């Protein structure tokens, strides 16, 4: 759900009867493994579909629209590296985590060169898989704790933030300020309101400290990207970039 002209997305609409589940496509020919993964990932509340071949993976990915893919590197028809290359060529850029029994440096380099995002060597624990996927979903703004504004993601559970998928290194004060701005949905907030809101979040700051945090936040969020953080006459807000046709 997107607010009018704000760029803010509420990832989870808690008033909706059936919010969309995160989708995971599992591609591995080992049926026992895919059964275990299906059980574990379904328990997390995610929608899982399993396949055994690379050709099917490329075909089904367009229909299933997964949010993440767990992909064996060695499949009976084509390699996992070839699958990722075909997915990327066809415009599917969702995160891919390789599952493989091969662990050489050349294998890892090939996986990442093809466009893979992570690499797990068999045998692995199911808890490790779910942890990796939770991290992927937080970064993509697909967690229940996600706040989004344009290409900016803040995970309120961990305090981590990303811009276009790249991590932002923020102090606790800067993170608290960013949360205030996202929750304001683009409405300007003046310095007094910032200090009051930070106080409610557990931060006692002076006007000068709040101003420094605002300046630093602007530098970090807008570094090498279209500006999102705006300020004027002592007020601060987020403004989504205008889409270029």
| pLDDT for the residue numbered 175 | 95
Residues 135, 151, single domain; the answer is no
Q: What three-state secondary structure class fits 88?
A: helix
Residues 91, 69, single domain; the answer is yes
Question: Does residue 185 carry a pLDDT above 50?
Answer: yes
Summarize pLDDT for 58-80 with one digit per residue, the tens.
999 999 999 999 999 989 999 99
For the chain, list the strands marked E by DSSP: 8-9, 23-27, 47-51, 68-72, 96-100, 118-121, 146-149, 152-155, 161-163, 166-168, 189-190, 229-232, 235-238
Mean pLDDT of the 90-97 span = 93
Structure token pair of residue 159 = 């305090």
| pLDDT for the residue numbered 18 | 58
Are 73 and 102 contacting, i.e. CB atoms less than 8 angstroms apart?
yes
| pLDDT for the residue numbered 245 | 52
Residue 64: is it exposed, middle or buried by C-beta count within 10 angstroms (0-12/13-18/19+)?
Answer: middle
Mean pLDDT of the 185-190 span = 91
Are 114 and 94 contacting, i.e. CB atoms less than 8 angstroms apart?
no
Q: What is the CATH number of the domain that holds 126?
A: 3.40.50.2300
Average pLDDT, the chain: 88
Rounded Cα gap, residues 137 and 66, in angstroms: 11
| pLDDT for the residue numbered 1 | 43
**Which of 139, 155, 170 delimits the end of a domain?**
139
Nearest Cα residue to 202 out of 181, 176, 178: 176
Residue 96 in domain: yes
Residues 111, 218, single domain; the answer is no
Mean pLDDT of the 36-49 span = 97
Residue 187 binned pLDDT confidence (cut-offs 50, 70, 90): very high
Residues 129, 158, single domain; the answer is no
Mean pLDDT of the 179-191 span = 93
Mean pLDDT of the 153-179 span = 95
Residues 124, 152, single domain; the answer is no
Residues 159, 133, single domain; the answer is no
Question: Does residue 141 carry a pLDDT above 60?
Answer: yes
Mean pLDDT of the 183-189 span = 92
Domain enclosing residue 223, as ranges: 147-238
Residue 224 in domain: yes
Residue 244 in domain: no
Mean pLDDT of the 138-152 span = 94
Structure token pair of residue 3 = 């607010």
Residues 159, 123, single domain; the answer is no
Residue 15 in domain: no
Tell me the H-state helices in 44-97: 54-64, 80-89
Q: What is the CATH number of the domain that holds 182?
A: 1.10.10.10
* This prediction's pTM: 0.81
| pLDDT for the residue numbered 234 | 85
**Which of 112, 139, 166 delimits the end of a domain?**
139
**Domain total for the chain?**
2
Residues 85, 34, single domain; the answer is yes
Mean pLDDT of the 92-108 span = 85
Residue 17 in domain: no
| pLDDT for the residue numbered 110 | 79
| pLDDT for the residue numbered 243 | 62
**Which of 94, 123, 139 delimits the end of a domain?**
139
| pLDDT for the residue numbered 216 | 96
């Amino acid at each position: 759900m997107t607010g009018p002209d704000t760029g803010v997305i509420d990832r989870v609409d808690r008033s909706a009867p059936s919010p969309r589940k995160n989708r995971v496509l599992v591609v591995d020919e080992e049926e026992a493994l895919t059964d275990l993964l299906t059980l574990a990932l379904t328990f997390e509340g995610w929608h899982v579909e399993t396949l055994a071949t690379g050709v099917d993976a490329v075909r089904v990915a367009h229909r299933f629209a997964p949010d993440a893919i767990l992909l064996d590197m060695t499949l009976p028809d084509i390699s996992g590296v070839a699958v990722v290359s075909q997915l990327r060529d066809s415009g599917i850029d969702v995160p891919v985590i390789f599952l493989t029994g091969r662990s050489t440096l050349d294998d890892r380099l090939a996986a990442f060169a093809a466009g893979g995002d992570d690499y797990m060597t068999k045998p692995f624990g199911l808890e490790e898989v779910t942890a990796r996927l939770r991290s992927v979903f937080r970064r993509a703004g697909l967690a229940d704790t996600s706040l989004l504004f344009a290409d900016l993601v803040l995970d309120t559970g961990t305090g981590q933030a990303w811009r276009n998928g790249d991590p932002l290194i923020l102090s606790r004060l800067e993170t608290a300020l960013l949360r205030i701005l996202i929750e304001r949905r683009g409405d300007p907030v003046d310095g007094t309101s910032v200090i009051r809101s930070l106080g409610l979040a557990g931060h006692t700051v002076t006007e000068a400290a709040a101003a420094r945090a605002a300046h630093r936040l602007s530098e970090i969020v807008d570094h090498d990207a279209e500006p999102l953080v705006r300020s004027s006459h002592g007020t601060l807000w987020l403004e989504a970039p205008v889409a270029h046709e």
